[in-house]
Amino acid sequence: MVIFHMYRLRKCATILDNGNMAKLPAKRVILSLSIVAIILAICIISVTTAFSVNHGWHDLLLRYFGATEEQIESLSTLTGYPATTLRQDDITITVNQTIIDSYGIYVLYEIVLPDSIKLRKDTDVVVRSTVVPTNSSDDDNTFGISTTKVLEQSGNRITVLQHDSSTTPIIDGTVTLYVLGINYVVQDSDPSRIETLLHGRWSLKWEHNSPSDTNINYEANIPISINGSENTITRIVITPVSISIFINGDDILRSAHPIVSFVDGSHIDYDMETPNSSFTYFLSDESDMIYTNQLYYRFESIISIDNIESITIGDVTIRNNA
């Protein structure tokens, strides 16, 4: 068993002061309670508004993650607001928000189609796109799983959340969003009729800063046996939105099943067939023909790294004693 200490995330605590209500006659108590209820409602609205304004998160991204204020605070150094826009052929694409951690990137963007296009809520819209974060230190930068999800469509507007993973660390540089096509099923007598709304390859570029160290970043040389083969865990990186495990060796992709266990007894068990996972390999040492495998998983929601109890891969369990 291997034990190591992980970096602790900075916690943000909110303290509420509770006062005591003096004894009042019955009618005044009712009136006072009504006033208190109104004041509380106003406070809740004010706090909600301040929460949205202070953190600047897009409402659809808040709903997608179901994020709390503490969780958003944990991603404050990973979040960007490029607000870059491309207009062409009566189509406008605007990037509203990004979340970039060590090996993955979320891009939230909106597409505004010509006024003549009126999409129905049951329209089958397919947006084909990819995100490429530049890594100037490695010309062989490769990418894993890419997902596109339409979060909202109404009238001639579509809001899309794109996620792409990388096998090399994302550093300072340029992010490029390539939008390759928008297709939808036209709602008429022929349900199979598909119309293409965007032709060609569109690209939006913006600069970004490398993610901060708001994560577990553990480099090691841990022997591990998987199905009898001798391998080595070289690095583990966990952020509030993803985990990347790097193992040198053969026969890893179809044999490794990492388990992330939490203090509440829940766990995540993933392999290369699991949704949100990306298992890839690349030649990391050409002279000795050493291949490195990345076992990547994107969490369904924002996690607290302090809530991770351990990570198990093969015959090795790594405990979080932060």
Average pLDDT of the chain is 76
User: 48-57, 77-86, 113-122, 220-229: which range is least confident on average?
Assistant: 48-57
Q: Which residue has the higher pLDDT, 24 or 160?
A: 160
CA separation for the pair 215, 218 (Å, rounded): 9
State pLDDT tens for residues 237-291: 999 999 999 999 887 888 889 999 999 999 999 998 999 998 988 877 777 778 8
| The most confident of 25-39, 188-202, 235-249, by mean pLDDT | 235-249
Domains observed in the chain: 79-208 (2.60.40.1630), 216-320 (2.60.40)
User: 32-46, 113-127, 215-229, 308-322: which range is least confident on average?
Assistant: 32-46
Amino acid in position 67: A
Q: Which residues pair with 153 in a beta bridge?
A: 158
Rounded mean pLDDT of 61-68?
Answer: 91
Residue 106 is predicted with a pLDDT of 93
Q: What is 158-198 written as a DSSP string?
A: EEEEEEEEESS---SEEEEEEEEEEEEE--SS-TT-EEEEE
Instruction: Name which of 271, 258, 298, 238 is nearest 65 in CA terms.
Output: 298
Residue 25 is predicted with a pLDDT of 43
pTM here is 0.76
Residue 20 is predicted with a pLDDT of 34
